[in-house]
Each structure stands twice: as structure tokens, then as C-alpha cells.
A and B are shown apart, each in its own frame.
Chain A
Amino acid sequence: MHKSTLMRYFSQNLGVVTASLLLIALYVAYNFMHPRGFSTAVAVQNTNEAAAIAFVAMAQTLPVLLGGLDLSVGAVMTLCNCVASVLVNGTPGEIVFGMLATLATGTAFGALNGCIVVYGRIQPIIATLATGAIAIGLALIVRPKPGGDVDGDLGWALTNSVWDFADTYGLADGGDAWWLQPFVDIPVPFLLVVLVAVCVWLPFKRTVTGRTVYAIGSAEGAAFMSGLPIDRARIAAFTLGGFFAACGGLYLAIQTSSGNADLQQAGAYTLNSIAAVVLGGTSLLGGVGGAIASLIGACILRVISFYFRILDIDPLLQPLIEGIVLLVAVSFGAIRTIRVRNKLDLFR
């Protein structure tokens, strides 16, 4: 018999649903324990911290859906961060141009990744290992030393609540317009992430290209035989991944008003993005999951680290606990393994 829609949604999206519940539980508990919990200040701080990794996790999602991995997301984000730190200042026109140029840089780099993977027919994981190095090299050329002067007003406006945004730019009566009141407490970074997710990711998922991305990850041969545009979807996926990484880099530049071609930071972002994707319930085998799930995964990663600031934990044990929590969190995937009754289902 046909299952009810809700039941079906839950059973087909078990990963995301569990991740969302976990995130809510963790975040609510954090707010209860925080001396100033459930306040705009805390929400603004939290979303600021999570925005860049959320973008990068979304960027990682697309190659993963294809059944590959992008080891260059962190590097592309870093490159865009450096580009933005040079370009995003001056007159409003120049600022807008700088932002567009930054997004274009990441998008172009993503497209380059896609072309190498598609036309060079090199496995994504190894192709992006190489292009990641190139991206870092370029970032170092753009910004040999950390620094930069991203427009200060922009930085303030985009890293605070909606009210501050309106206030900074004198919009909606400096934020006091009555119609804005329901929204004044929402953190801007939250809006930005949601905006990108809703206006870019969700429509993309509902195009033939987006569906092809899922189809390739699930069964590439079948996708080809079904007459789907394989090459186009691959390139599109990497391009969109580059765009998301660029959003992350741009936001990072605005948030820190500077750029930093830091190899280690790039590596950390790449690895964390993979962890976020997995925590969100997207399968590393491809075909199942989505960018929203990764976004949630990224938030879980961040919320876990929030706890070190409110609990009293020996600082030298923190890295150990962080590692164990990560290990345990990803090991929840094993529950599926234990429940499997037909061992062939393990070899997917």
C-alpha cells in the first residue's frame, strides 16, 4: 500500500530529520546554559560564526551528490576571501562590483574544476586536490600577507541584526519602520544563508540539471542511458559549488574585513565541510542528501564547539573531546549498519 506522505518523507530523509532534531536539541540546551541565552546578541554571534562554514558545506554537497569529493572548497573559499579583501571597498558601486567579481572568481574556479573533471575525465577527489593547491597559490599571489580593508560599514551591517543593517544604511527609517519590526531581531548572516539556499539551491534542485546531479551520483550509467545531460550537470554542480564557496569567502572577508591566504585554514574548512555533509545525512556515495542537510550539519559542528565556552573543560582536553564527539557523531551512521538484516545491503 502507499505510505502516507509524511511517513515517506521521514523514512526517505531519516538523515536530515535526525540531524535537524539533534541540532535543535543541542542549540536549545546551549541557550539555556548561556547566561544571555535566547537573545539577539547570542544569535548574531552564533550565526556569524556559522555562516562561512555553512556556505562551504553547501559547496561540498554538490560534488558529494555526484559521488565525488571536492578537496578544493576550502582553497577556493580562501582565494575568494583574498580577492574580496582587495576589491570590496570604495564607493558603493565599487563595492558591488567587488562582490560580484568575488562571486565570479569562485564560480569560474568551480567551472574550471568541473571542466577538468568532465573533459579531463579525472576523478574529482584527485583533480580537486591539485586545483586546490593552485587556488591557494593564486590566493597567496593576490594577498601574500594577511590584511585588507573591506568596507567597515558593510562589515558592520552584514554581521549584525536586521535592525543594525537598516540603521547603518538609513533604510526603513533607520530600522524603526513599523513593518520591519517583526524582523529586526533576525541576524543578517542567517538571512544571507537562507536567501542563498532558497533562491539558488532549491530552484536548482528542481531543474533537470539538478536532478541529473542526483541521478549521476545514484547510477551514472542509468543517467546516461536515460538521456540526461551528464556533462552539463557535472560542470554545473562544480560551478555551483564554486559559487557557494565564493559566498563563504566573500562573507569571511566581510566578517573579518580582511583576507588571509592561510593554507591550514583552507584545509580545515575542506575537512570540516566533509564532516558537515556527512553529519547532515548526505551519503558520500552520492545521490542522496542535499545542501540544506549540509547546512544543518555545519551548524551541528559549530554548536558542538560552542559548548567548550560554557562548560568548564580542561583546555588541554578540549581537542580530545572534540575529536571523540566527532567520531561518535559520525558513528551514529553505524546504527543503520546494525539494523541491516540482509548483509548485501551493506555493500552499496
Chain B
Amino acid sequence: GPEIVAGPGANPECFAPWSDDTTYLQWEAKEAPYKIAVVNGFVGNTWRIQMIKTAKAFAEDPAIKDKIETLKVVSTGTDAPAQLGAIEDFINQGFDAIITIAVSPDGFDRVIRLADKNDVVIVPFDNVLDTDKVMQVNEDQLEMGRTWAKFVLDQLKAEGTTSGKLLEVRGLPGNSVDRDRSIGIHEVFDADGGDWEIVQVVGNWDDGTAQKVTADAIAVHNRFDAILAQGGTTGVVQAMMDTDHPMVPVAGESENGFRKLVAKHADEGLKGISIGQSPGLVAIAIKAAISALEGNAMPQLISVPLPIATYDELEDGANYWSDLPDNFFTVNEFPPCGVNISGPAIMSQDESDVN
């Protein structure tokens, strides 16, 4: 298993520690090239597909191509034993590192124990584990919630609104990401002291569901002063427009569709902020795994900066694409890490492919 060492770690611009008390882990160095596996859970949505394609594409990147002997990607579905089994199987097969999006934030004790026994580096990202025994990569979900809330608060204050009714569209119930983002949002509004009523609906991070629950909420409550959506934001805005709800500030994810709508309607009051959980995180996780295998000291929890774009920063062709589908996630590049795979480059082999 890894040793706990003192920082700083390698390449701190890219592998930024989560906080000051983040510990550092160090594995014994191994000879390149490495065998790396990505064990995904569920596969039936665009985000996951984009993530898988990013992983494949990143492995072909000249900077790391030589360090990877094989990159294997499997999707196990939402079944925890299948995911744990796949990880264990790769350990048995002698893989060096395993990147994973955990189906459940717990239950990895056994595979972590096995991985440590076999000196395998496990790197959970996106849906991370409630443990400090492995190196993990994520964006700060709490911070994301706070940023959304601060932005909305600022917009409202600028209009002179200091109290009112807000709509919060939450994600998958029970998920830790959903929980953290929501906590972040409420923290800020509670601290503000204004009289804010927050109506919560469950949108499952899915456009259709989010659209339906938003439409229902608008029908019942008539008017909200702002909307904070964890995902399915395109659907949320769509519902606003369908119900002729006045354009109000919206905080949301990084779907291309949402950014397109914000760019188009910002003047009418759709002041939006778009922060995304990027499918590109997988690339950073792979990079972190390689760095760890090379024997570098690594932060136990790596914080990837939030890719924020507010309505006044949107630029067609740079951080959104007006001629491309709604459904892919815009933010995918992390320059400090040398990860430069843009959404459109991933999701379409060539530009002519898309209209």
C-alpha cells in the first residue's frame, strides 16, 4: 500500500490538494508502461459516453501514450457487486491502476485492501468514496453550490431583490454529489439573512425530469425570483420559456444547450452561470494514476478547479458551440494539466459530421 508522506506533491498546478490538511500518498515507483483500467458504472447518458470517449482519446495523447501499455474500459451498470468484482478482477489480472466512478460511496474497503496488497493504485473520481485511504479526483461540489448561490444572490441584489422565492432543482436523491451541492447552496442563503424561501424539486440531473418538475413548480408557485439547478438545466430553462415565466437568473450545469440559451436570452434577463462537472475529470484521474505509479507523492484528494462561465463570458466556439447538439458537456479542457480535449473534438470525429 501507499505511504503517507509530507507534501508538496508533484505537479501542484494540476494536482492541487483539496485543502491545507490534505495528506499525501506515495506508492513505490513502477516501470512504465502501465496497464490501466477504467471501471465505469452506468453508461446510458451523454456525460458517461463523453467521459469514456475522453478516456480513450486521452490515452492516445502523445504526452502519455508511451506510458500506457493497455487501457481497458468497462461499464458495469448500477450494480455494486459487479463494479467491485470488475475492480477486483483487474487487480487479479495484474493491472497497475484502476480508475473508477463509484456506484456507491461506500463498500470499497475490500477492494482497497486487495489493491494495497497488490500495489495497485485505485483512483475514484466524480462520485468519490467516503474514505481517505485512496487517492481521489474531484471538483469541489460544496464550493460549486456556494458559487451558484453567490452568483444568484449577487444578481438579485443588483436588481434590488433582497428576499423572495427560489427554486432549487436537485439531482439524484441519495447521491453524495447532490447532497454536497445542496448544502453549499443553502449555506450561502442561510448566511445571507434575507428572507429566502427555497422550493425544492427533484430533477434527477436529467433534462426531461427537470423540465417537468420545473413546469409543475411554476404552475403551482407562479413565479420564482431565481432558479438553481444541479443538472438538466437545459430542460429547466425550456420549462421557463414554455410557461412564459419571466427570464430570471439561473444557476446551472455546463450543458451546451444551457449555455446556448443563456447566450441567446441573457439580454432578456436570463443571467446565467454555468459550472460543470466535466467528463474530462477522467483524464486528470488517469494522469494522476500515472504520476502515482511513477513514484511521485500525490495529494490524497485532488481538487480540480471549477470551470465557471457566467453569461457575460460566453463565447461561441470557445466555451459553447451554437451549431452543435445541446447534449454534450462543454467544459473539458484543463490547461494546467495538459488536458486539451474539447467537447466538440470528442463528440464528433470531424466537424462536417455535424450538420
Contacts and interface: CB of A to CB of B under 8 A. Distances in A.
B89 A45 contact: yes
Listed residue (B76, B92, B103) with the most chain A CB atoms within 10 angstroms of its CB: B92
Interface string B181-210: 000000000000000000000000000000
A216 to B, nearest CB: 32
B179 A145 contact: yes
B49 interface: yes
A287 to B, nearest CB: 30
A268 B74 contact: no
B174 A256 contact: no
Given A34-B92, A35-B94, A305 B107 contact: no
B52 A305 contact: no
B78 interface: yes
B81 A49 contact: yes
A264 B53 CA distance: 24
B78 A262 contact: yes
Nearest to A262: B78
Interface string B74-102: 11111111101110111011100000000
Contacts of B174: 140, 144-146, 260-262
Interface residues of B, number: 45
Nearest to B109: A257
Interface residues of A, number: 48
Given A49-B82, A312-B72, A255 B52 contact: no
A256 B107 contact: yes
A71 B81 CA distance: 20
B56 A36 contact: no
B130 interface: yes
A53 B79 CA distance: 10
A48 B175 CA distance: 25
A268 B56 CA distance: 27
A148 B75 CA distance: 25
A258 interface: yes
A146 B81 CA distance: 15
Interface in A291-336: 302, 305-306, 308-310, 312, 315-316, 318-319
B34 to A, nearest CB: 15
B130 A147 contact: yes
Nearest to A148: B106
Contacts of A306: 89
B89 A146 contact: no
B166 interface: no
Contacts of A305: 76, 82
Contacts of B105: 146-147, 258
Interface in B16-63: 37-38, 40, 42-44, 49, 52-53, 56
A35 B113 contact: no
A19 B89 CA distance: 24
Nearest to A152: B109
A46 B38 CA distance: 19
Given A257-B107, A309-B89, A319-B43, 12 more contacts: A49-B81, A146-B176, A155-B109, A255-B81, A258-B104, A262-B103, A262-B104, A264-B42, A305-B76, A316-B49, A316-B53, A319-B44
Interface of B: 37-38, 40, 42-44, 49, 52-53, 56, 72-82, 84-86, 88-90, 92-94, 103-110, 113, 130, 173-176, 179
10 contacts: A36-B92, A45-B92, A145-B179, A146-B174, A146-B176, A260-B103, A309-B37, A309-B89, A315-B38, A315-B73
